[in-house]
Structure 1
């Protein structure tokens, strides 16, 4: 639909007239019909409503925080029932929006929406419940949301499948295909008559989330193959669950093929290093994204980063040992830090040198020394003043959400020690200050 503000915004991003700023780039935020019978509801994770003769099908349902908004915007667009909902995968920003629809169906004595997902979503939900504390901590850190609490209960799928599934209802025919990529439970949606592709998180509009240092294994090899397969469909419109739509068969094919090439080159270079006997540290400093790919607006490292993808390739094919024998059975961080501080003349010497390096732009080395100083003297105010500044300088020069979150957390940790509070309190205070 040429009058769609979302599609106009997407065209500006594609042409370079507007720079993508994050994974969540999808302004404007109001729901719009972006193709005949297809409503896009932008959010932390986008949701899509597909109209059919008896109501609508949802492809992804967004996060629980935005469930009321999803219900309001879908029902305002079509008063019919939501008969089905497809989870592109089990991440919480894709599976949290069915509560109001379920409650409404119960109140009216109607069937709830039939949730459809890959069979591995069941195991994911079980794992999430078992690791609720861990996921609360790492997602607070990654997104810098102090009061985030990871859910322990999830809306279970009613229908699961292994490889392919066709959802046919009210004249709508939606093909679903399983692919490993960001997750092992990923589903791609395809409307063959309209040539509309729903890649879920397999296309993000930024560099692929194929590394993610705090999360479970990603599958860059399979992901690249999925992108190549999607490119053969010759879609006219690609509606990803993050980022902006991609319009036109040539643009869709270009985006998919170049994203595949991005992952393939990281995999190939990492495998070459593995086969050459390189250590993980050596590999991280050898692998590079080709310049023609690094320049593309839809492959910017605004969320995940190339060196994190390298680590995931290493983890998948080589295990956790990084090639440094001292890391096989290491001392504690505190023991090593104390020894090095003693050898160098004290933790303050390490902290001072860390600050000097950070202010000169040598951020990687500066963080090592600042961390050693903090581990050696966990309550020293002068050391943590320096450590906080080092990590603040490091966070300020990062572009990716994950790096910014982790380095920002480290800064807040030291500032919390100085103030006698914890890192989350410091993050909350910083957030209030920015408002």
Structure 2
């Protein structure tokens, strides 16, 4: 059996890396005052340690039982209760909520109304549906602390919310901006492309210093959102130019009756022309920019939205 030859990639920029993990495989740190964040290097969660209990924001299964260890560590150090009284879902996806079932039935679960509908549909015992729901905005107050929850329309998912901590100078918006890194496949596997593209600008309208993006090993900054937006804008600009310049005729002439082969040849050519300069520009700037499948699939997703949602590149038969 021949082993597959695995590709090499450029080193991850130091600026993209976070703090070292402990012997249990996690890091817990202070955001500001009594707001803390937890990471396993790939996923992130956050919690408020209040006088009346701990409010947990997301429960990624890869962090799993380390969430309890992180809460216990902070509670012992800060001299506060370690009882988790509330759990807020950023959205319904299992990779961010799949450890919610580790916390007992006494926990008050909070989320968007669409999150409740989707979790009831999915019927996953590891993701109990929230009892407390809201439509547009909701202020969660526990132990003298507050978190402002808001839904500004679908983006990464139909129910993804913004969590603002106005007294802690922080914003949590999951699966939109990966601080220091490119999005993974297909624009972070996002379901609403126009909503996703608009989300960073909406996020920057909030006042905050610390950004909790739900992924990877460090907190984000406002500069991270600016860099992310530049990366996306370059893809959009290149996709628009490629749609205007790549001639579909040779592909459909070549494949004749096999229309889907013609479509594939044309769209692959447009995608490659749009993605290549972005990969070159951001390699060494954003981690994993040189993992071509990420930028290429994200470019394909964006240009398809440009074609289907905005009408860009549509050729009308004469």
Q: TM-score under structure 2 normalisation?
A: 0.70
Structure 1 or 2: more helix by fraction: 1
Cα distance in 2, alignment partners of residues 89 and 282 from structure 1? 35
**Number of residue pairs the alignment of both structures matches:** 267
Q: Within 5 Å, give how 1:29-428 maps onto structure 2.
A: 29-35=25-31, 36-43=33-40, 44-63=42-61, 66-78=63-75, 79-102=81-104, 112-125=106-119, 154-179=127-152, 180-205=154-179, 206-209=181-184, 211=186, 218-246=191-219, 252-274=221-243, 278=248, 279-288=266-275, 289-290=277-278, 292-298=281-287, 300=289, 305-318=294-307
Q: What is the match of residue 142 of structure 1?
A: none
Cα distance in 2, alignment partners of residues 301 and 66 from structure 1? 27
Tell me: CA distance 1:292–1:177, structure 2 relative to 1, closer, same or farther (3 Å): farther
Cα distance in 2, alignment partners of residues 41 and 236 from structure 1? 17
Contact map agreement 1:234 1:253 (CA 8 A) in 2: no
Cα distance in 2, alignment partners of residues 126 and 315 from structure 1? 31
Structure 2 unaligned segments of length 5 or more: list them. Answer: 1-10, 76-80, 249-265, 314-318
Contact map agreement 2:43 2:215 (CA 8 A) in 1: yes
Q: CA deviation at 1:193?
A: 1.9
Contact map agreement 1:197 1:239 (CA 8 A) in 2: yes
Q: What is the match of residue 402 of structure 1?
A: none
Q: In structure 1, the residue corresponding to 2:186 is in which secondary structure?
A: coil
Contact map agreement 1:181 1:222 (CA 8 A) in 2: yes
Contact map agreement 1:167 1:174 (CA 8 A) in 2: yes
Q: CA deviation at 1:76?
A: 4.0
Match of 1:27 among 20, 23, 39: 20
Contact map agreement 1:207 1:301 (CA 8 A) in 2: no
Deviations 1:330-377 (A, max 9, x none): xxxxxxxxxxxxxxxxxxxxxxxxxxxxxxxxxxxxxxxxxxxxxxxx
Cα distance in 2, alignment partners of residues 39 and 177 from structure 1? 20
Contact map agreement 2:148 2:164 (CA 8 A) in 1: yes
RMSD between superposed Cα atoms in Å: 3.3
Q: What is the match of residue 263 of structure 2?
A: none
Query: Which protein is bigger by CA-based radius of gyration?
Result: 1
Tell me: CA distance 1:312–1:237, structure 2 relative to 1, closer, same or farther (3 Å): same
Deviations 1:142-198 (A, max 9, x none): xxxxxxxxx676321222333332212221111122353332221221111221121
Q: CA deviation at 1:294?
A: 4.5
Structure 1 or 2: more strand by fraction: 2
Q: What is the match of residue 253 of structure 2?
A: none
Q: In structure 2, the residue corresponding to 1:156 is in which secondary structure?
A: coil
Q: In structure 2, the residue corresponding to 1:185 is in which secondary structure?
A: coil
Q: CA deviation at 1:210?
A: 6.0
Tell me: CA distance 1:190–1:304, structure 2 relative to 1, closer, same or farther (3 Å): farther
Structure 1 unaligned segments of length 5 or more: list them. Answer: 1-12, 107-111, 130-150, 324-435
Cα distance in 1, alignment partners of residues 47 and 300 from structure 2? 37
Q: CA deviation at 1:259?
A: 0.7
Cα distance in 1, alignment partners of residues 187 and 176 from structure 2? 14
Cα distance in 2, alignment partners of residues 160 and 50 from structure 1? 19
Contact map agreement 1:210 1:220 (CA 8 A) in 2: no
Contact map agreement 2:100 2:126 (CA 8 A) in 1: no
Q: CA deviation at 1:297?
A: 2.9
Cα distance in 1, alignment partners of residues 117 and 234 from structure 2? 31
Tell me: CA distance 1:253–1:40, structure 2 relative to 1, closer, same or farther (3 Å): closer
